[in-house]
C-alpha cells in the first residue's frame, strides 16, 4: 500500500497545508491502491478516477490561492451507493438506477463538497441496505481483505466502505446505519466506525431503508481519524471549521465502562468474546473501572427486531409508493421479508413504536449511571460466503451479525466500534461503545482514550494479509 495513504488525517491535513504533499498525490495514491487492491476486492460500484482527479486539482488550486475551505479539503472519501451524488447514479444495491431526484445531493455530501473533499467513487451496498452480511446477488459481494484464501463477508450493509479503507483507496468512508450497517463492516474489516444518533445528521437524499431508524455515519482506520471526520462533517461545527475542535481523549483513570452480563456475549465465535475481554482487562490495568451491569432492554427489544421491527414495513411502503416497478427486480429474500411486513396490522406497528420508545427511555436512564457501555460489536466471525449461499444458512448468520449492533438503533443510542483483536480465524474483532442520544463527542473522547491505551487497529491487528503492502 502506498505509504502516504497510511498517514493520519491530521498528518495529511498539515502536509497539504505546508505544501509537503498535494491532493493530486493523494488521489494518485488512492488510484494505485485501488488498482493493486480494491479492484480485486470489489469495493466499488462506481469508480471514475478522472472525476476524482479533477476534484483533487480543484482542491490543490484552492490551496495554492490561499483558500482553506475546511479540514476535508483534498482528502479521498468513498461514498456508499445510497447517497445522492451529482453525475453518479444511485442504485442502492438494486439492479436499476433510481430516478434522477435520487442523484441530488443532501447535506452530508454538501458539507464535504463545501470543503473540496475528494470523492473517490460509490461503494457497494446490500440491496436497499437490508442486510448485515454484505451479500448482493446483483452486483456481487465485496471480498474481505483479511482472508487471503477465502471469500469472506465484508459486513453490511455498507459492504464496500470498510473494504475501501482496508485496501487504501479512501481515508474516510461514508455509510449508513439502520441496525449496524456502519459498525458491522467496520468491525469485520478492522476499522473504526461511528453510528450517529437519529437526527444528528440529515438523511435527506440518502435512499431510505427505515426513516425511523436510518442514520448517516462514517468509517475510518482509527478513532482519531473518525473524530476528525465527524467534526468536519457535523453541522454543529460548521461555524468553527477554521478552528477545528476535535474531541480530546477522556481521562482514562476513573472512566466507568459498563459491561453488560446479559445478551451480547451469547453465541460468540471463538476468540471474539475473549478478544474484547482481554482489551477490557488491559484498560482496567490503566485505570478504567469496569462496572458489571445488565441491559434488560436488549432482551425485551430483540423479539421485535427479529420479526422485522420497523425496517421491513417502512421499506415496503417506500418501494410501493416510490419504486413499484422494482418489485420484480428485487432479491427474493428481501421481497419475502417485505411481503411479510405488508400484512402487518397497523396496531402492531403502533405497538412496536410505543414499546421501542418506552425501552429507549429506560435504557437511557440506565446508561446515565456510567460513562458508556461496552460489548463485542459483532458476535460472529465474517462467514465464508460459500458457506451461507443457501437461504437456510444465510438468514441465521445475517440475524446474528446484526444482533448486537441492532440494539443500539432500536433503543435510540449512539454507538462506536473500534478494532481490538483478531479472533480464532484471524479475522478482526470490534469492541462496541454505546451511549445515549447526542453523545457522539463523548463516545469519541472515550474511544480516543481507549485507542491511546490499546493502540490503533493497525498496531494491534497488523495489516490485512490480502492487501498488497508495496
Catalytic residue among 38, 111, 157, 159: 157
Q: Report d(CA 315, CA 317) in Å as an integer.
A: 5
Q: How many CB atoms lie within 10 A of CB 383?
A: 25
This prediction's pTM: 0.97
Catalytic residue list contains 320: no
Q: Which of 339, 422, 411 is nearest to 381 (CA)?
A: 422
Tens-binned pLDDT, residue by residue, of the chain (470 aa): 568 999 999 999 999 999 999 999 999 999 999 998 767 899 999 999 999 999 999 999 999 999 999 999 999 999 999 999 999 999 999 999 999 999 999 999 999 999 999 999 999 999 999 999 999 999 999 999 999 999 999 999 999 999 999 999 999 999 999 999 999 999 999 999 999 999 999 999 999 999 999 999 999 999 999 999 999 999 877 666 556 688 999 999 999 999 999 999 999 999 999 999 999 999 999 999 999 999 999 999 999 999 999 999 999 999 999 999 999 999 988 988 888 888 999 999 999 999 999 999 999 999 999 999 999 999 999 999 999 999 999 999 999 999 999 999 999 999 999 999 999 999 999 999 999 999 999 999 999 999 999 999 999 999 999 997 65
- Burial (0-12, 13-18, 19+ Cβ within 10 Å), 253: exposed
Catalytic residue list contains 157: yes
Q: Report d(CA 209, CA 279) in Å as an integer.
A: 34
Catalytic residue list contains 114: no
Please list the residues that pair with 375 across neighbouring strands: 432
Catalytic residue among 38, 181, 210, 439: 181
Q: Report d(CA 221, CA 32) in Å as an integer.
A: 18
Structural domains of the chain, ranges and CATH numbers in brackets: 3-301+336-461 (3.90.1300.10)
Strand 172-177 to 192-195 pairing: unpaired
Catalytic residue among 38, 45, 78, 80: 80
Please list the residues that pair with 177 across neighbouring strands: 215
Amino acid at each position: 500500500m502506498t505509504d502516504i495513504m497510511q498517514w493520519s488525517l491530521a498528518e495529511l491535513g498539515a502536509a497539504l497545508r505546508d505544501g509537503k504533499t498535494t491532493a493530486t498525490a493523494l488521489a494518485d495514491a488512492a488510484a494505485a491502491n485501488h488498482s493493486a487492491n480494491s479492484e480485486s476486492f470489489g469495493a466499488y460500484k462506481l469508480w471514475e478516477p478522472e472525476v476524482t482527479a479533477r476534484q483533487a486539482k480543484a482542491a490543490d488550486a484552492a490551496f495554492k490561492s490561499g483558500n482553506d475551505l475546511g479540514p476535508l479539503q483534498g482528502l479521498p472519501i468513498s461514498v456508499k451507493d445510497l447517497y445522492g451524488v451529482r453525475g453518479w447514479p444511485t442504485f442502492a444495491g438494486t439492479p436499476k438506477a433510481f430516478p434522477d431526484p435520487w442523484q441530488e445531493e443532501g447535506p452530508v455530501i454538501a458539507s464535504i463538497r463545501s470543503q473540496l473533499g475528494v470523492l473517490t467513487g460509490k461503494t457497494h451496498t446490500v440491496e436497499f441496505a437490508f442486510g448485515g452480511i454484505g451479500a448482493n446477488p446483483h452486483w456481487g459481494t465485496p471480498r474481505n481483505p483479511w482472508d487471503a484464501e477465502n471469500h469472506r463477508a465484508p459486513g453490511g450493509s455498507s459492504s464496500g466502505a470498510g473494504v475501501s479503507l482496508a485496501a487504501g483507496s479512501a481515508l474516510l468512508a461514508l455509510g449508513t446505519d439502520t441496525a449496524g450497517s456502519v459498525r458491522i463492516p467496520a468491525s469485520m474489516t478492522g476499522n473504526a466506525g461511528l453510528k450517529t444518533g437519529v437526527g444528528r445528521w440529515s438523511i435527506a437524499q440518502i435512499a431510505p431503508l427505515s426513516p425511523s431508524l436510518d442514520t448517516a455515519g462514517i468509517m475510518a482506520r482509527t478513532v482519531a481519524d473518525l473524530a476528525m471526520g465527524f467534526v468536519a462533517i457535523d453541522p454543529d461545527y460548521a461555524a468553527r471549521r477554521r478552528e477545528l475542535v476535535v474531541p480530546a481523549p477522556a481521562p482514562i483513570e476513573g472512566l466507568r465502562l459498563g459491561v453488560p452480563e446479559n445478551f451480547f456475549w451469547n453465541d460468540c465465535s471463538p476468540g471474539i468474546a475473549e478478544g474484547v475481554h482481554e482489551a477490557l482487562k488491559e484498560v482496567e490495568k490503566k485505570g478504567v473501572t469496569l462496572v458489571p451491569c445488565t441491559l434488560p432492554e436488549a432482551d425485551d427489544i430483540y423479539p421485535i427486531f427479529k420479526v422485522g421491527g420497523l425496517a421491513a414495513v417502512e421499506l415496503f411502503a417506500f418501494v410501493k409508493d416510490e419504486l413499484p416497478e422494482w418489485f420484480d427486480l428485487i432479491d427474493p429474500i428481501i421481497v419475502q421479508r417485505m411481503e411479510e411486513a405488508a400484512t402487518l396490522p397497523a396496531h402492531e406497528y403502533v405497538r412496536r413504536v410505543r414499546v421501542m420508545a418506552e425501552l429507549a427511555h429506560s435504557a437511557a436512564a440506565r446508561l446515565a449511571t456510567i460513562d458508556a457501555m461496552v460489548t463485542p460489536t459483532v458476535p460472529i466471525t465474517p462467514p465464508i460466503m460459500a458457506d451461507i449461499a443457501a437461504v437456510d444458512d444465510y438468514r441465521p448468520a445475517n440475524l446474528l451479525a446484526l444482533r448486537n449492533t441492532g440494539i443500539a438503533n432500536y433503543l435510540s443510542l449512539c454507538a462506536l466500534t473500534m478494532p481490538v483483536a483478531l479472533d480464532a480465524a484471524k479475522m478482526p474483532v470490534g469492541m462496541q461503545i454505546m451511549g445515549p442520544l447526542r453523545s457522539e463527542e463523548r463516545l469519541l473522547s472515550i474511544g480516543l482514550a481507549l485507542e491511546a491505551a490499546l493502540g490503533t487497529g493497525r498496531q494491534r491487528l497488523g495489516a490485512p494479509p490480502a492487501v498488497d503492502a508495496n
